[in-house]
Amino acid sequence: MMEDSKWILQGIESKSVSLNEIYTQLSIINDESDPINTEHEILQMETTHDLDTSAKTVINYNQILQPPTGENRIIKTVLTKGIAGIGKTFTVQKFVLDWASGESNQDVDFVFLLPFRELNLLEEEKQSLFDLLCVFYPEFREAREIPEWICNRNVLFILDGLDEYEKDLNFQSSLLSDVTKEATVDVLLVNLLRGKLLPSAHVWITSRPVAAIQLPTDIFIHGYITQIRGFRDEQKEEYFTRQFEDPKRRKEVIRHLKSQKSLWIMCHIPLFCWISSVVLKDIVGSQKHRNMPSDLTEMYIHYLLVQTGLSHKKYQGKELSQEDALQKRKEVIMKLAELAYRQLKKQRAIFREEDLKKYKISLDEASQYTGIITCVSERKFLFYETKLFSFVHLSVQEFFAAMFAFQEFLSDQEDSLELSAVKKRQKSKLCDFLKSLINEALKSKNGHLDLFNCFVFGISCDSSRKILKGFLPPFRSSSSDDHRKVATYIKSSKRKDLSPERCIGLVRCLVELKNRSFLQDTHELERSRCKEPLTLFQCSLLAYQFVMSDTKHDEFDLRKYNINLDGFQRFSPAITRFRKALDAEPKGIFDDMATALPLLASPHLLHVPVGYVNIWVYDVTNLGSVYTAICHATSVRVVKEEESVAGITEVYWVSKTNRNSESNSSGTVW
């Protein structure tokens, strides 16, 4: 296991790099209270990247089996969530390496790493837990007494990448407690997580948040839920400092990334930092003057250019300009793009050899693009050997899928995209095509098409098509008029079934069009100009603009806007960026305690008006939550209502208790 964990492959050169040399310590925080969020995880980062986690318990990866500070209990089951590319697998790999080399967790006798991507290959076969272990660790077949021996040892099972498992785990399946009894893989896994199968074992499971939803909370009674946070701002700078030795270039790169807020936020993901460093090294080191990418789409277009140029030079032995290399390699790139699109529609990120063959991609061709698609597993199972592939990051797959979709539109082949909303016509207009993509994405419950749509919108811009000139079929005219029409279509939507997550996805599509006039001026949305309540989309748009603004806001006056409770819930992420919130009197939106409570807990928002009638009602059922929330607020103004004198007494008591016990974070009711 030590040799398997010690090295990783990086980039088109497939160089072996020591994990110990490149691993950057990431914060793992206690995350049990975080709500389910069905927003695309990349877009979600824009509203959550700077949330204060100082009150959360920070856990070192090597202490994952230890109870939280102040608790004395045995940890059996741990879930670690994290978005794609955040470092879950690297963290697991580092844990295994440290254990195998004798540096930590030496009280654990056995560590069994079982990646879900490889468990997919055994789905149809029935076997015992012992037989399953022998598939991954053939050396155990020689040990006849191993089942009994394992039962009496301190064992850790690491189940890595639940989001890559192709079957839902059914926690209503039959119970199983005998390690020698045969069952399908999913039944074995469910009973291992339940603690029915090998109850003395520890289980550490990693997953993207969207897949973790299927795990029942009761399996963590003897454990806890954690989340891997990405790079903090200072770690981002550390990363680029290591990548760029020349101080002048380093300063130029960091300054540029900071000036493009969406890119700087994306650098929260370690793998995106690597993609950015590959692109920016090429640009600042080039003899030709080229502009640095200003948004997500341009970054990925440049990444495609760099990887194609390197691949052509390495495997064809000729050095061409990146643009010429892209045209030379167009056929194989578009085959990869079709693979990306078809599998994204199925919500699949792991592919087998037969998937590649279906799109006429040979193993040799795939191996020439290791900076784009990579072999993530190569294992011999009994009498056959299999390879598993994935794009280097989910966002790379989404970008390639977007290229395929736009190529099909330009080639009048939209039918091949199988979009249910596409109307049959001889030649579709760009605005109609983009509308059909929007309508398709809005059907998704988990937003798996949101970032794909952003990339399509970005690629459709004149500036993007200029970079890809000669690679994509020519477009008939400028896209600006079509963009204006689709922007109007999005902003005029009055659909009441738009989830907050889908709204933000639509806002990001407008952002990728690179025309700030498509984003409404916040003054246009004020009550004096909008007599009707703002639509759900307008509230999301307003929130996004406040969240992404570099301006420091002191006071938000809700009285300026005609926002109802549903609309306010879309806007609430932006409220926490202000220090003070003002509400309409005598009864306002903040009277809804379920709405006000998360705002009270914000470390930034220090002055909040609330109706104490609702505090009292909420207080009776959940005093602890109110107490914790008010601890963060400097002042909580209580709007008086005569019939609830008891309520004000109780709330004042909560604040007073806090003031006496924690003088550094006192709250005041006024």
Q: What are the structure tokens assigned to 123, written together?
A: 């789905």
pLDDT of residue 330: 93
Backbone phi, psi, residue 581, to 5°? -120, 135
Asked if residue 586 has a cis previous peptide bond (ω within 30° of 0), the answer is yes
Encode 365-395: b = buried (16+ Cβ within 10 Å), e = exposed. Answer: bbebbbbbbbbbeeeeeeeeeeebbbbbbbb
* Contact between residue 166 and residue 120 where contact means Cβ atoms under 8 Å apart: yes
Compute how many other C-beta atoms are within 10 angstroms of the C-beta atom of residue 511: 22
* Contact between residue 84 and residue 393 where contact means Cβ atoms under 8 Å apart: yes
pLDDT of residue 406: 96
- Rounded to whole angstroms, how far apart are CA atoms 24 and 469? 39
Which residue from 67, 188, 202 is spatially nearest to 129, judged by alpha carbons?
188
**DSSP character string of 438-457:** HHHHTT-SS-TTHHHHHHHH
* Contact between residue 377 and residue 387 where contact means Cβ atoms under 8 Å apart: yes
324 burial (CB, 10 Å; 0-12 / 13-18 / 19+) is: middle
Encode 407-421: b = buried (16+ Cβ within 10 Å), e = exposed. Answer: bbbbeeebeebebee
- Rounded to whole angstroms, how far apart are CA atoms 187 and 126? 10
Amino acid identity, residue 264? Answer: W
Q: What are the structure tokens assigned to 218, written together?
A: 């009761």
Q: Residue 135: in which H helix or E strand, if any?
A: helix 129-136
- Rounded to whole angstroms, how far apart are CA atoms 22 and 14? 15
Alpha helices in 348-393 (DSSP H): 353-358, 363-367
Backbone phi, psi, residue 202, to 5°? -95, 145
| DSSP 8-state secondary structure symbol assigned to residue 472 | B
**CATH number attached to the domain at 525-669:** 3.80.10
Which residue from 203, 243, 248, 241 is spatially nearest to 221, judged by alpha carbons?
203
- Rounded to whole angstroms, how far apart are CA atoms 305 and 299? 10
* Contact between residue 596 and residue 590 where contact means Cβ atoms under 8 Å apart: yes
Render pLDDT for 164-188 as a digit per residue (tens, 0 to 9).
998 889 998 888 988 889 999 999 9
* Contact between residue 270 and residue 86 where contact means Cβ atoms under 8 Å apart: yes
Block residue for tokens 């509308």: 435
Helix axes 612-632, 593-600, angle to 10 degrees: 20
Torsion from C-alpha of 150, 156, 162, 167, nearest 10 degrees: 10
Block residue for tokens 């009280």: 107
Who's near 342: CB < 8 A, 6+ residues apart? 359
Which residue from 78, 59, 79 is spatially nearest to 69, judged by alpha carbons?
59
**DSSP character string of 39-50:** S-HHHHHHHHTT
List Cβ<8 Å contacts ≥24 apart for 591-596.
591/639, 592/565, 593/617, 593/618, 594/618, 595/565, 595/568, 595/569
HSE, side-chain direction, 13 A CA sphere, residue 50: 16
Block residue for tokens 């009707």: 532
Please give the average pLDDT of every successive group of 10 residues along the chain, which has 670 residues: 56 59 78 54 55 65 86 91 88 92 92 92 83 85 67 91 90 88 94 93 93 92 90 90 91 94 90 93 80 93 93 83 89 96 93 93 90 82 74 94 95 85 64 93 86 95 90 83 91 76 84 79 69 83 80 75 79 72 54 57 56 40 47 49 43 39 38
* Contact between residue 314 and residue 12 where contact means Cβ atoms under 8 Å apart: yes
Distances (CA, A) of 497 to 482, 488, 501, 536: 26, 19, 11, 9
Alpha helices in 215-371 (DSSP H): 233-243, 247-259, 261-266, 270-284, 296-316, 322-328, 330-345, 353-358, 363-367
pLDDT of residue 617: 40
From the centroid of its chain, how far is CA 556? 29
- Rounded to whole angstroms, how far apart are CA atoms 93 and 18? 12
Record: fold of 2-228: Rossmann fold (3.40.50)
pLDDT of residue 661: 40
pLDDT of residue 382: 55
Which residue from 311, 297, 371, 322 is spatially nearest to 471, judged by alpha carbons?
322
pLDDT of residue 32: 60
List Cβ<8 Å contacts ≥24 apart for 541-546.
541/491, 541/503, 541/507, 541/510, 542/571, 542/574, 543/47, 543/570, 543/571, 543/572, 543/573, 543/574, 544/46, 544/47, 544/504, 544/507, 544/574, 545/519, 546/522, 546/574, 546/577
- Rounded to whole angstroms, how far apart are CA atoms 133 and 111? 11
Whether 525-669 and 2-228 are alike in CATH topology: the answer is no
Which residue from 665, 546, 659, 550 is spatially nearest to 603, judged by alpha carbons?
665
Torsion from C-alpha of 432, 433, 436, 437, nearest 10 degrees: -140
- Return the SS3 of 158: strand
pLDDT of residue 651: 42
* Contact between residue 225 and residue 81 where contact means Cβ atoms under 8 Å apart: yes
- Rounded to whole angstroms, how far apart are CA atoms 43 and 61? 26
- Rounded to whole angstroms, how far apart are CA atoms 262 and 257? 9
Sketch the domain layout of the chain as residue ranges: 2-228, 233-267+269-303, 329-519, 525-669
From the centroid of its chain, how far is CA 495? 26
